[in-house]
Amino acid sequence: MKKIAVIGGGIIGMTLVNYLDSKQFEVLLYDSGKNQATGASAGIISPWLSKRRNKQWYALARDGAAFYEQLVSDFSLTNEIYEKCGTLFVRDQVALDQLEQLAIERKEKAPEIGQIRLLNPKETSEILPILRPTPSLYISGGARLDGKAYLNHLRKRALGRGVRIISDEVKVQKAGNGWEINRAEEKVVVDKVVLAPGPKLKDLLEPLGYSTAVEPQKGQLISFSTDLNTNNWPVAFLDGEADLIPFNKGEILLGATHENEAKWDLRPTKKAFEKLTQGVDRYLNNNSLTDFPYSFRVGTRAYTPDFAPFFGPLKDEVGLIVASGLGSSGLTTGPYIAFLLSEFLNGKVDEWEMSNYEKDFDHYITVI
């Protein structure tokens, strides 16, 4: 039986080990447990009205959102982990009219968008009571995902499938036709290795002779424990950096920041708290979130110069597979990327051809 090592236990790595064929492979998953983006995240799965001009990214995000129906079935995800709750877009009326038209156009290739409806101020505050009356656009297909709960669920499932999970930092080097995974306590030789460690990909590839255009970005979320009845509330894209992500049982998440200069710093900051809470205050009714107990979720994302992900085997090393650069849309694209990688590794597709989803690797990885 061949061995595969997956480096990085975030949304790609943990999803991938659950899709790899356990009859073909002995699977090892290495994760340091530090700076992880997914474990600190919760997010909105609703990419359809994005104004990003990168058509490859949009196709990936659109299909990634559609893939969640299969993901929920394959992994038995509960409503505490993933729930299709609908999405509100809060903008001025002119912008809302434009978004409605965009939604109608994109629904032709993305029926997952669901119902599209412009709401008047009263209807907005009825569907999301924490908001003051304001016009909005509602689409029923939007959803939310708790990244930490997702990883915990898949970790248990992976262990049940016989995946060996090792909490440690590793280095990778070539070993004949395979790869040697080095950590303090042992060395293991595997047939193939998947590197999905977020921004740490740069450090793993450099000793192998590659330069990687990926950088760390700090993200902070604030989780408020409220006494509000948040069950069945939609998520909301507000006009600014802060988004509202209500979960059941009164939990409301606010975020997230995008801090390029902070890099690996995981300390919660007063600046982030003020930026997020002040940015959302003008949209709220009398229920100020800052009146409730709160905690921070802080992680480190990977981003590239064009803010697009890259994933797949290296051209000159087909046994070396990489994935990184997901940025703040990783919860939307990550599981689908993992599934595509599993199809390749499990032998269900003969060649890797993803030009509809990503640019050529030369944009991100070069030989030193």
Residue 364 above 80 pLDDT?
yes
Residue 30 above 90 pLDDT?
yes
pLDDT tens digits, one per residue of 201-244: 999 999 999 999 999 999 999 999 999 999 999 999 998 768 99
Cis peptide before 308 (omega within 30 of 0): no
Locus of tokens 């303090």: 184
* pLDDT confidence tier of residue 261, bands split at 50, 70 and 90: confident
- DSSP state, 34? S
Asked if residue 120 lies in contact with residue 172, where contact means CB atoms within 8 angstroms, the answer is no
How much is the average pLDDT of 9-37? 92
The percentage of residues in the chain with a pLDDT greater than 70, rounded to a whole number, is 98
Of 124 and 36, more confident: 124
Asked if residue 335 lies in contact with residue 67, where contact means CB atoms within 8 angstroms, the answer is yes
Alpha carbon distance 324, 312 (integer Å): 10
Asked if residue 140 lies in contact with residue 114, where contact means CB atoms within 8 angstroms, the answer is yes
List strands edge to edge, sheet with 187-190.
Answer: 171-175, 178-182, 187-190
Task: Provide the pLDDT for residue 272.
Answer: 92
Cβ neighbors of 130 (< 8 A, separation 6 or more) are: 228, 233, 244, 246, 252, 284, 285, 287, 289
What domains are there in the chain, each with its CATH number? 2-38+149-214+306-367 (3.50.50.60), 87-141 (no CATH), 216-302 (3.30.9.10)
Residue 321 above 90 pLDDT?
yes
Q: For the chain, what is the radius of gyration of the CA atoms?
A: 21
Collapsed DSSP state (helix, strand, coil) of residue 118: strand
pLDDT tens digits, one per residue of 103-116: 999 999 999 999 99
Residue 26 above 90 pLDDT?
yes
Task: Provide the pLDDT for residue 161.
Answer: 96
Residue 41 above 90 pLDDT?
no
Structure tokens belonging to residue 189: 């030789």
Going by C-alpha positions, the residue among 215, 310, 313, 208 that lies closest to residue 261 is 215
* pLDDT confidence tier of residue 306, bands split at 50, 70 and 90: very high
pTM: 0.95
Task: Provide the pLDDT for residue 265.
Answer: 85
Asked if residue 172 lies in contact with residue 7, where contact means CB atoms within 8 angstroms, the answer is yes
Asked if residue 221 lies in contact with residue 253, where contact means CB atoms within 8 angstroms, the answer is yes
Asked if residue 161 lies in contact with residue 57, where contact means CB atoms within 8 angstroms, the answer is no
Task: Provide the pLDDT for residue 333.
Answer: 98
Task: Provide the pLDDT for residue 360.
Answer: 92
Give the H or E element holding residue 12. Answer: helix 11-19
How much is the average pLDDT of 106-127? 98
Task: Provide the pLDDT for residue 13.
Answer: 98
List phi, psi (to 5°) of 23: -85, -20
* pLDDT confidence tier of residue 16, bands split at 50, 70 and 90: very high
Task: Provide the pLDDT for residue 255.
Answer: 85
Residue 184 above 90 pLDDT?
no
Cβ neighbors of 325 (< 8 A, separation 6 or more) are: 214, 302, 303, 304, 307, 308, 309, 310, 364
Task: Provide the pLDDT for residue 36.
Answer: 62
Cβ neighbors of 353 (< 8 A, separation 6 or more) are: none
Residue 357 above 90 pLDDT?
yes
Neighbours of 160 (CB within 10 A): 9
Alpha carbon distance 258, 17 (integer Å): 29
Cβ neighbors of 101 (< 8 A, separation 6 or more) are: none
How much is the average pLDDT of 37-66? 91
Locus of tokens 């949009």: 58
List phi, psi (to 5°) of 87: -125, 135
Going by C-alpha positions, the residue among 250, 135, 248 that lies closest to residue 127 is 135
